[in-house]
Structure formats: structure tokens, C-alpha cells
């Protein structure tokens, strides 16, 4: 429950931080000038550049703190734990092996697959 509350606040901080960064007045115009605004014509036109920097700083600090908190508080899980899955009894049958190998994995006598002998290639340096 607390994780999802932190996640909601985190997403809100992310969106506001993006908006504040995009509307800041920069010396080169930045993106604030790209949207037809410039200087005091931005959405928060009454705020000076100094206040915008303070707001950006506080939002960045909140972003980092919330990210760290969310890392330490895991989300609630409604699925089985891995340890529970490993101790669960196995039900069902294992299909029988229908290939021509015996239990040791070696081919049976009826197979006619040729065996390779060391007759060349990169392993022998040729």
C-alpha cells in the first residue's frame, strides 16, 4: 500500500519536474522560446529565474529521495514465493524417453551413427 502511494507521488514529482525544467528561462532561449514564450511570457511568468532554480532543486531532491525510498520498500506481492514453489510436491508424470538411448545416454547397439575420429580440422592444426 505504501509503495503505491510513494509511486503516485513519485510520478507526480516526475511530471512536475519535467514541466518546470522545460519552461525555465535559459540564456540560449531553450525550449521555453520554442513554444512561443520567452522571458516572462512563460506559464509561470511571474517567477524569476532564481525561484525556478530553487523549485527545480527541491523537485530534484524529492525525486532522488522518493527513488531511494521506493527501492527499499518492495511492492506487495500476491504470488507464491520461490521457496514455496521449490517445496511444493511434484504432481504429474514424466514422459518416457522414446529415443534409442539407454539410461546412460549412450546410443544403443542398433544405431548406425558414425563416430568421428581425429582426422583433421582446426583442432589438429590443419
Residue 104: inside a domain: no
Q: Are 24 and 50 in contact (CB under 8 A)?
A: no
Condensed to tens digits (0 to 9), the pLDDT of residues 3-57 reads 899 999 999 999 999 999 888 866 555 555 566 555 554 555 555 678 888 999 9
Predicted confidence at residue 19, as pLDDT, reads 93
In a domain, 64, yes or no: yes
- Give residue 84's Cα distance to chain centre: 25
> For the residues 51-78, what does the mean pLDDT come to?
90
- Tell me how many domains the chain contains: 1
Q: What share of the chain is helix, strand, coil (3-state, %, to 5)?
A: 50, 0, 50
Question: Which has more pLDDT, 39 or 87?
Answer: 87
In the prediction, which pLDDT does 58 show?
96
Asked whether the whole model's pTM tops 0.95, one would answer no
Integer Cα distance of 68 and 73 in angstroms = 9
Cβ 63 vs Cβ 6: under 8 Å: no
Q: Give dist(CA 70, CA 122) in Å, integer.
A: 54
In a domain, 68, yes or no: yes
21 is a domain residue: yes
Spatial separation of the C-alpha atoms in residues 36 and 45, rounded to whole Å: 13
In-domain check, residue 92: no
Give domain status of residue 7, yes or no: yes
Which domain covers residue 17, as residue numbers?
A: 2-72
Residue 101, in any domain of the structure: no
- 7 class by beta-carbon count within 10 Å (0-12 exposed, 13-18 middle, 19+ buried): middle
pLDDT > 90: percent of the chain: 27
**C-alpha closest to that of 48 among 77, 23, 69:** 23
Q: How much is the mean pLDDT over the chain?
A: 73
In a domain, 97, yes or no: no
Amino acid at each position: 500500500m505504501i509503495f503505491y502511494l510513494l509511486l503516485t507521488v513519485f510520478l507526480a514529482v516526475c511530471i512536475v519536474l519535467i514541466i518546470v525544467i522545460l519552461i525555465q528561462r535559459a540564456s540560449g532561449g531553450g525550449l521555453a522560446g520554442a513554444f512561443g514564450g520567452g522571458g516572462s511570457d512563460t506559464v509561470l511568468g511571474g517567477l524569476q529565474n532564481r525561484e525556478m532554480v530553487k523549485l527545480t532543486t527541491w523537485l530534484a531532491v524529492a525525486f532522488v529521495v522518493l527513488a531511494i525510498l521506493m527501492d527499499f520498500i518492495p511492492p506487495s506481492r500476491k504470488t507464491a514465493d520461490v521457496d514455496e514453489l521449490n517445496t511444493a510436491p511434484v504432481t504429474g508424470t514424466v514422459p518416457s524417453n522414446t529415443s534409442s538411448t539407454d539410461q546412460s545416454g549412450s546410443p544403443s547397439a542398433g544405431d548406425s551413427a558414425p563416430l568421428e575420429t581425429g582426422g583433421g580440422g582446426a583442432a589438429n592444426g590443419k
